[in-house]
Amino acid sequence: MTPIWLGLLGLALALPVPALLARSTWPLRAPRAGIVMWQSLAVAAILATSGAGLSTALWLVSVDDPSPWRVVLHVAVLGVGVLVWARFWWAAWTVWRRTGERRRRQRHLVDLLGEPDGAEPALRVLRHETPIAYCLPDRTKARVVVSSGTIDLLDEDGLRAVLEHERSHVRSRHDLVLEGFEFLRAAYPRFLRTDAPLHQSQVMVELLADDAARQVGGVKPVAKALVTLADAPTPAGALGVGSAAAVRLERLRDPDPSNRLVAASLYLFSAAVVVVPTVAIAIPWMVHAWQVLLER
Amino acid sequence: MPRLGELERSVMNALWDAPAPLTVREVQEKLDERDLAYTTVMTVLDRLDKKDMVVRERDGRAYRYGPAVTRDAATSELLHAVLDSAGDDRTAALVHFARTVDPSEAAALRSALDEILAMDDR
């Protein structure tokens, strides 16, 4: 039964569990722990799915008199397991390369168009009235980009807050966190996946960057800059994600946003989601597999 | 390499400002005040060529270099990549602070902001 249990667990962790968790807002109260939770769910899903594939393979070679429907079921489990594994590495490779290329192109453009200053990571000012502020993360060649429109719109403290927010993304390599979830999303077939981990993590890294920004000049400049820029007109084609702004303001409104209880439960849950299936299903199966191999 | 990067910017600006493609010699003359060696300008143009930022065409024994994209097209390419948050660029550039919100959302944001601004400074 191991392949079926692991297969079901892999499916549950890929779709219904993330979808349910994404509906609750409490993981957003502890964004760092929340990201860890999404990561461990991802690891557990991948482990369960590949474990299902492995144990199915063993069952198929070791069973003596299989009934046809069990063979069909096991082959299906094996197929999904192999598919997810192969797609995960393929996705990791293609997403990684594509983002790298796109970032390089954008950095070249930004370096030619934007005015440099001595700051670290390098800041580039783009001459355009559209208010934007973003970063191009990289280990050594990161850029923080703001438009002249942003500078015109914000007061000095607001600009400082925005720059600190972006620098925090660069420093903490939030791009790597999000890329991991992109790989995962690309690994599962379309009907077996949810965007929840990626979307929730996108909001969570924003919350963490806001936390860093408020350390520098307090809450008010961050909140003011956030609302000013969220409200500013952007060209057609820009998509509204106003809810993220609301969630971020909610956290800024809290004088002490760190929530130890939520963080502790999230960490506990994260550990359990990886450890419990390993102890309950994977280790007994490994013992069983060892015995089967010895008997042959 | 901040110096080379800075030179690339100057050379590119010279190409953008010129009405027609330029030879290495002409770029060198345009950047007269910087007193650059001919080979330096050539190196910088080669680097820009590798980055697909210039196009070159043979003109006798030399090449003429022109910008691969106009200044405006380059700016709008950047803005598009950044603002088109529905696209794949979500992780290429972590984008923030540039979102359209509808009027009711904007009102909710403003009232939340007013509450934060009314809080006592700690």
Q: How many domains does chain A have?
A: 1
Q: Look at residue A242 in the predicted model and tell me its pLDDT.
A: 46
Q: Look at residue A38 in the predicted model and tell me its pLDDT.
A: 94
Model ipTM value: 0.83
Half-sphere exposure (Cβ direction) of B105: Cα atoms closer than 13 Å: 18
Quick check: B11 pLDDT over 50? yes
Domain ranges of chain B: 2-67, 71-118
A216-272 confidence digits (pLDDT tens): 989 999 999 988 887 665 443 333 344 578 888 899 999 889 899 999 999 999 999
Q: Look at residue A235 in the predicted model and tell me its pLDDT.
A: 43
Q: Look at residue B89 in the predicted model and tell me its pLDDT.
A: 47
Provide the CATH number for the domain formed by B2-67 in this structure.
Answer: 1.10.10.10
Please report, for residues A121, A134, A163, A200, A269, the alpha-carbon distance to residue A147 in angstroms, rounded to integers and kept in the order given: 16, 9, 12, 27, 42
| Closest alpha carbon within chain B to A101 | B92
Band of residue A199 on the pLDDT scale cut at 50, 70, 90: confident
Band of residue A15 on the pLDDT scale cut at 50, 70, 90: confident
For residues A71-90, give the mean pLDDT: 84
Chain A contact present for B115, CB below 8 A = yes
Q: Look at residue B44 in the predicted model and tell me its pLDDT.
A: 95
Name the residue range of residue A284's domain. Answer: 2-295
For residues B26-53, give the mean pLDDT: 92
- Total Cβ atoms within 10 A of residue A286: 15
Q: Which of A205, A227, A234 sits opposite B110 (nearest CB)?
A: A227
B77-91 confidence digits (pLDDT tens): 888 777 665 444 445
Question: Do B94 and A134 lie within an 8 Å CB cutoff?
Answer: yes
Q: Which of A98, A133, A239 sits opposite B97 (nearest CB)?
A: A133
Q: Look at residue A240 in the predicted model and tell me its pLDDT.
A: 36
pLDDT above 70 covers a percentage of chain B that reads 80
A52-78 confidence digits (pLDDT tens): 888 888 888 777 777 888 888 888 888
Which chain B residues contact residue A243 at CB under 8 A?
A: 105
- In 3D space, the residue among B21, B25, B79, B95 whose CA is nearest the CA of residue A241 turns out to be B95
Could you tell me where the DSSP H helices lie in B18-70? 24-30, 38-50
Residue corresponding to tokens 């580039």: A124
Q: Which of B9, B95, B99 sits opposite A245 (nearest CB)?
A: B99
- Virtual torsion, Cα A219, A29, A198, A270, nearest 10 deg: 140
Q: Which of A103, A137, A231 sits opposite B109 (nearest CB)?
A: A231
- Total Cβ atoms within 10 A of residue A280: 12
Min Cα distance A206 → chain B (Å) is 8
* A window 49-108, beta carbon within 8 A of B: 98-99, 102-103, 105-106, 108
Band of residue A165 on the pLDDT scale cut at 50, 70, 90: very high
Min Cα distance B108 → chain A (Å) is 8
Q: Look at residue A57 in the predicted model and tell me its pLDDT.
A: 83
- In 3D space, the residue among A27, A31, A22, A26 whose CA is nearest the CA of residue A210 turns out to be A31
Token code pair at residue A135: 């970063």
Q: Look at residue A99 in the predicted model and tell me its pLDDT.
A: 85
Token code pair at residue A88: 């995960």
Task: State the amino acid at position A264 in one-letter form.
Answer: A
Between A81 and A242, the more confident residue is A81
Band of residue B1 on the pLDDT scale cut at 50, 70, 90: very low
B55-73 confidence digits (pLDDT tens): 999 999 999 999 999 999 9
Write down the mean pLDDT value for chain A.
86
Q: Look at residue B96 in the predicted model and tell me its pLDDT.
A: 52
Chain A contact present for B83, CB below 8 A = yes
Q: Which of A124, A125, A134, A248 to mutate to test the interface with B (most CBs of B within 10 A)?
A: A134
The answer to whether the CB of B14 falls within 8 A of the CB of B31 is: yes
Q: Look at residue B121 in the predicted model and tell me its pLDDT.
A: 62
For residues A267-280, give the mean pLDDT: 93
Chain A contact present for B14, CB below 8 A = no
Please report, for residues A92, A139, A212, the alpha-carbon distance to residue A168 in angstroms, rounded to integers and kept in the order given: 25, 13, 6
Strand partners, A124: A116, A145
Strand partners, B70: none
